[in-house]
Structure 1
Amino acid sequence: MAMDYTPVRDDFDKYMIPMFSPAPFIPVKGHGSVVIDQTGKDYIDFVGGIAVNSLGHANEELVSNLAAQLNKISHLGNGYTNEPVLKLAKTLCEFTFAEKVFFCNSGAEANEAALKLARKYALENYSAEKNEILAFNSAFHGRTLFTVSAGGQPKYSQDFGPLPGAIKHQDFNDIDAAINAITDKTCAVIVEPIQGEGGVIPANKEFLLALREACDRHAAILIFDEVQTGVGRTGQLYAYMHYGVVPDVLSTAKALGGGFPIGAILTTDKFASALSVGSHGTTYGGNPLAATAANTVLSIVSQIEFLDDVKNKHQLITQGLSEMNARHDIFQDIRGMGLLIGCELKEHFKGKAKALSNICAENGVMVLIAGPNVVRFAPALNITQEEIEMGLMRFEQALEVFINKE
């Protein structure tokens, strides 16, 4: 193959297993929240790598720290520990309710570990019959067989049976249904403080409080899936801090590495004891590069001023979207927390979020969807006011094109 070969979009269809249907353009570089494709066209990035790029693209501190670590040691395996991961574990414990941490490579792996922990803890401390897991409709917890079974979207799990058993689902934010479903056979309840893939739907505080009380009453482990809501996304370091409801286990990933793959579960000494030597594991988890990236992210994102700025940017974006909606009457709801925002399309435009997102790209702004009816914004946490204003301007141009096509 010639060394000067430049890949093209058609190569995806030719060589890649067709799990995804990526955009027709190929981004090649970025800075902050501006991305540039192969043709030189620029886009305002409201996607943030699906809530991953907490510090945007090509962040100087992140690049510098990763380069320095690459020149020291990049991987060891779990037979040895390393300085960056110990620093990271200490930081996460000091900043949260946690006393112990386990590191892996993704949100799905973190949720997998959390659910395995719950089953094993119940087996060792109660009985084999205490194995039921309660999850919620429209939830998303990952793509492993266990986590896709816990997720409340059958379209992602129905073709892969037989699925792991003893997993029940109830409606999100339905207190009575959830409380009635939690029994002495329940080993865990897993819930997102904000359902991300399910439409950017925040939990009610009363709902999370009721789950906490029921888990305490029935000796079940309360797991918060904060893969999408964690690490400053909502304007607090973790979303549970908004609610004043503390879980037993918390999963985190996405924004933690600022673009470098890393996941983790946070828990207390009481529950950490269930995952003893050899009971679970990972080859890459907690490697020095991933931990260095996460240490860099946390050193910036954990600052009070930074988190306050995320809340201010929420106001800036939602105000702009509300003003836009007053002009175009396209959204029936604009919701979310911090820089995780969802715009639900009105009935007339139902099912067309993907079509709108494609038109957005044509107009130089990248947005996400959260199901067929919701346009989702999850930009870098350090996105600038100028980038927001430019992105909203391009978004409105796309809205006008979209509406005129209808």
Structure 2
Amino acid sequence: MTEQITRATFDEVMVPNYAPADIIPVSGKGSRLWDQQGKEYIDFAGGIAVTSLGHAHPVLVETMREQAGKLWHLSNVLTNEPALRLAKKLTQKTFADRVFLANSGAEANEAAFKLARRYAFDHYGPEKHEIISFYQSFHGRTLFTVTVGGQPKYREGFEPTPGGITHCEYNNIEQLKSLISDKTCAVVMEPIQGEGGIVPADENFIKQARELCDQHKALLVFDEVQSGVGRSGTLYAYQQTGIEPDILTTAKSLGNGFPVAAMLCTDKVAKSFSVGTHGTTYGGNPMAAAIAEAVIDIVDSEDVLEGVKKRHAMFVQALKEINDKYHVFKDIRGMGLLIGAEVVDELVGQAKQFLKHAIDEGLLVLVAGPNVVRFAPSLIIPEVDIKEGFTRFERAVSKVAGSM
């Protein structure tokens, strides 16, 4: 007899670094999920901006089946066709000349930060090693990436952390000017801060950051782990800014839930990752690459990207209409289908209450810090699911508002 699996099983066998909700989803289709009891949920969370094409997308299911019958894994002693096809498409569609394939956003960022330091070491020597990042940024959970990230809570208890990293206020160009120097090897930024509260970068700030990097011979690194692969309304958010980075990282939506990531860079920078300088066991495996290629083919189309813009307007309008009734949000912001609603002062620290009540109503949403409710649904979520989802969200909001 198969042992029954319940939420209590988590508390028995898993390391307690997560506190998952009481429900256990067991199946999904499109933007709807069903739990062990058969209760239906509409998915406005997207696995934290991951399932960009929803659950069990038929093209991706067939791609996985086809590749599974051919080749799962080799090693980086050999290359493979799906990895090369994916890399070629990524370079054709972006600023980049070269690609390093990995398994997660943290791995892609780890590679990016190492490459930035190695490039500076090769060209200017060991003194040019300093990295500037931004407060409230998030770049992953490895020791290097939590140090570059601008949230001290993720570093606490893991010190000593790598040195040579400074943090700046996001969108504060004068402070960035005061911090950058000829010892700076890289400025690392998200075009829109995700975990930091869904805060877009000012267009002028990005342009001046690029100019400062050029003046000081520093690399500009864009973390598009969360904003990339269509979520912003373009394939990558930087494509709306008029400037190009030297290095870009992408993951999350790239595999629609299958672990895959990539670091993209220019040819001149890539040369500093010569044979043996960096590596990964699973990065670039044919299964992951085949799925990511299929995702790119679907997402990078006019129908999907224009649809993201239309759905953005629907989400913002629905949130405003709900807020006009209940007055629980003081700001609604974001790009494409990465949207944040910041709670009013009376609800500071209580964003998770919206998540909790939404689950009770059959809806999955997210938070971005303690004060922002986050929405990151499938890029192709049906309009009927959006309307029904907000009907459920309004019921959740009414419960939160009733406790104010």
CA deviation digits over 1:269-298, x for unaligned, max 9?
100001011000000001111001101100
CA deviation digits over 1:161-182, x for unaligned, max 9?
0000000001000000012211
For residue 5 of structure 1, report the CA deviation from its aligned partner. 2.4
* Aligned counterparts, 1:67-216, within 5 A: 67-216=65-214
For residue 305 of structure 1, report the CA deviation from its aligned partner. 1.9
SS at match of 1:401: helix
* Aligned counterparts, 1:379-390, within 5 A: 379-390=377-388
- Which residue, out of 282, 301, 304, partners 2:302? 304
For residue 306 of structure 1, report the CA deviation from its aligned partner. 1.1
Residue type at the aligned position of 2:78: Y
* Aligned counterparts, 1:156-305, within 5 A: 156-305=154-303
- TM-score, length basis structure 1: 0.99
SS at match of 2:331: strand
CA deviation digits over 1:83-123, x for unaligned, max 9?
11110000000000010000000000000000000100101
Q: Hey, what's the Cα distance between the residues in 2 that align with 1:44 and 1:362?
A: 12
Residue type at the aligned position of 1:329: H
User: Number of residues paired by the alignment?
Assistant: 404
Q: Hey, what's the Cα distance between the residues in 2 that align with 1:229 and 1:180?
A: 28
Q: For residue 56 of structure 1, what is the aligned residue in structure 2?
A: 54
When the two chains are superposed, the root-mean-square deviation of aligned CA atoms in Å is: 0.6
Q: Hey, what's the Cα distance between the residues in 1 that align with 2:316 and 2:216?
A: 40
Q: Hey, what's the Cα distance between the residues in 1 that align with 2:240 and 2:363?
A: 30
CA deviation digits over 1:299-328, x for unaligned, max 9?
100002210100000001100101111111
Q: For residue 350 of structure 2, what is the aligned residue in structure 1?
A: 352
For residue 6 of structure 1, report the CA deviation from its aligned partner. 2.9
Residue type at the aligned position of 1:354: K
Residue type at the aligned position of 1:223: V
For residue 254 of structure 1, report the CA deviation from its aligned partner. 0.2
Q: For residue 335 of structure 2, what is the aligned residue in structure 1?
A: 337
Residue type at the aligned position of 2:85: K
SS at match of 2:85: helix
- TM-score, length basis structure 2: 0.99
SS at match of 1:306: helix
Q: For residue 17 of structure 1, what is the aligned residue in structure 2?
A: 15
Q: Hey, what's the Cα distance between the residues in 2 that align with 1:110 and 1:45?
A: 27
SS at match of 1:11: helix
Q: For residue 369 of structure 2, what is the aligned residue in structure 1?
A: 371
Structure 1 unaligned segments of length 5 or more: list them.
none
SS at match of 1:134: strand
Identity score, percent:
53
For residue 401 of structure 1, report the CA deviation from its aligned partner. 1.2
Cα contact 1:46–1:379 (8 A) shared by 2: yes
SS at match of 1:251: strand
SS at match of 1:227: coil
Q: Hey, what's the Cα distance between the residues in 1 that align with 2:256 and 2:295?
A: 6
CA deviation digits over 1:321-372, x for unaligned, max 9?
0111111111000000100000000001111011221111001100000000
Q: Hey, what's the Cα distance between the residues in 2 that align with 1:259 and 1:382?
A: 15
For residue 245 of structure 1, report the CA deviation from its aligned partner. 1.6
Q: Hey, what's the Cα distance between the residues in 2 that align with 1:340 and 1:77?
A: 35
For residue 127 of structure 1, report the CA deviation from its aligned partner. 1.1
SS at match of 1:399: helix
Residue type at the aligned position of 1:218: H
Cα contact 1:179–1:210 (8 A) shared by 2: no
Residue type at the aligned position of 2:88: K
Q: For residue 328 of structure 1, what is the aligned residue in structure 2?
A: 326
Cα contact 1:233–1:338 (8 A) shared by 2: yes
Q: Hey, what's the Cα distance between the residues in 2 that align with 1:386 and 1:72?
A: 38
CA deviation digits over 1:133-174, x for unaligned, max 9?
000000000000000000000000021000000000010000
Q: For residue 43 of structure 2, what is the aligned residue in structure 1?
A: 45
Q: Hey, what's the Cα distance between the residues in 2 that align with 1:49 and 1:6?
A: 25
Q: Hey, what's the Cα distance between the residues in 2 that align with 1:196 and 1:158?
A: 21
For residue 404 of structure 1, report the CA deviation from its aligned partner. 1.3
Q: Hey, what's the Cα distance between the residues in 1 that align with 2:157 and 2:361?
A: 36
Q: Please list every run of at least 4 consecutive aligned residues from structure 1 whose deviation after the TM superposition is greater than 6 angstroms.
A: none
SS at match of 2:88: helix
Q: Hey, what's the Cα distance between the residues in 2 that align with 1:386 and 1:275?
A: 48
Cα contact 1:54–1:381 (8 A) shared by 2: yes
Residue type at the aligned position of 1:316: M
SS at match of 1:187: strand
Structure 2 unaligned segments of length 5 or more: list them.
none
Q: Hey, what's the Cα distance between the residues in 1 that align with 2:231 and 2:264?
A: 17
